[in-house]
């Protein structure tokens, strides 16, 4: 198995525990998708993907529809995506994806988390190059032959295909998302969920105490409502 498989296995050990927070994050994705391409999922591929992810997270249909309607209103919140880069204690690189309607608040909060944990918030480009951005698609594992699927989609940029309890996972470079999504839809293959991840190019092993220091910082960051995803270079094996 490749790096994407190992990365996913490690991340799956720690899922969002608060369903309400998951819905809040998806709600922000809906707002940005609607503002980007309109409220009709038929003509908005980004919104289609977010709706698929909302259903995969068991978000009620009425919640999804309400979020789309609210995002279509003229006075709806305007969220911006902001990427933060820095170092946790013990030299662990951290990337933080945020979605915020108040940049000053988010910057101040993220900076305080690093400072209190003896980490350091970096400048743009200081850490991002240490991660490879990828896209992924989850399909129903009961309907496909793994080897055939991999051969059919290798020409569309798919680099890794594997199965876990959630289904079949296709991983490809970030820039191949659109062409793979289009091909899956053209073949009437149901996409259960899809998204983007940042996979560390190298990882660092820590002792138990050092690992706890880093985990405390990550947990604090993840509690922030503006934070969508946190990626790091710590070895979780």
Provide the domain limits for residue 193.
Answer: 131-199
* One domain for residues 96 and 191: no
* One domain for residues 123 and 218: yes
* One domain for residues 102 and 209: yes
* One domain for residues 105 and 120: yes
146 domain residue, yes or no? yes
Q: Name the residue with higher pLDDT: 141 or 197.
A: 197
Give pLDDT, residue 20.
Answer: 62
* One domain for residues 125 and 207: yes
4 domain residue, yes or no? no
Cβ burial of 161 (10 Å; 0-12, 13-18, 19+) is: buried
Q: The domain that contains 185 carries what CATH number?
A: 3.30.70.980
Position 237 confidence tier, pLDDT thresholds 50, 70, 90: confident
The count of structural domains within the chain is: 3
* One domain for residues 125 and 86: yes
Q: How far apart are the C-alpha atoms of 36 and 41, rounded to whole Å?
A: 12
Position 16 confidence tier, pLDDT thresholds 50, 70, 90: very low
54 domain residue, yes or no? yes
* One domain for residues 209 and 103: yes
**For the segment 74-125, what is each residue's pLDDT rounded down to a tens digit?**
787 788 999 999 999 999 999 999 999 999 999 999 999 999 999 999 999 9
7 domain residue, yes or no? no
* One domain for residues 145 and 180: yes
The backbone torsions φ and ψ at residue 161, rounded to the nearest 5 degrees and listed phi first, read -135, 125
* One domain for residues 210 and 114: yes
2 domain residue, yes or no? no
8 domain residue, yes or no? no
Give pLDDT, residue 22.
Answer: 82
* One domain for residues 174 and 213: no
Three-state SS at 132? strand
pLDDT at 13 over 50: no
The three-point CA angle 121-25-53 to 5° equals 125
pLDDT at 221 over 70: yes
* One domain for residues 124 and 180: no
């Amino acid at each position: 198995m490749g790096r994407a498989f190992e990365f996913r296995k490690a991340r799956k050990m720690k899922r969002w525990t608060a369903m309400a927070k998951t819905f809040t994050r998806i709600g922000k994705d809906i707002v940005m998708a609607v503002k980007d391409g309109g409220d009709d999922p038929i003509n908005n591929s980004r919104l289609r993907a977010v709706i698929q992810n909302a259903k995969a997270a068991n978000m009620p249909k009425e919640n999804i529809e309400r979020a789309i309607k609210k995002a279509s209103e003229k006075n709806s919140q305007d969220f911006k995506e902001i990427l933060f880069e820095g170092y946790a204690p013990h030299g662990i690189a951290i990337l933080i994806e945020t979605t915020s309607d108040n940049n000053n608040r988010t910057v101040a909060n993220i900076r305080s988390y690093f400072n209190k944990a003896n980490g350091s918030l970096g400048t743009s480009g200081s850490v991002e190059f240490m991660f490879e951005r990828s896209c992924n698609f989850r399909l129903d594992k009961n309907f496909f032959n793994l080897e055939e699927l991999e051969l059919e989609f290798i020409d569309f940029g798919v680099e890794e295909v594997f199965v876990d309890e959630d289904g079949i996972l296709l991983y490809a470079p970030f820039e191949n998302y659109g062409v793979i999504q289009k091909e899956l839809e053209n073949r009437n293959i149901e996409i259960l969920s899809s998204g983007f991840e940042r996979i560390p190019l190298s990882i660092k092993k820590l002792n138990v105490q050092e690992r706890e220091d880093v985990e405390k910082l990550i947990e604090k960051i993840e509690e922030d409502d503006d934070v969508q995803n946190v990626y790091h270079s710590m070895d979780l094996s």
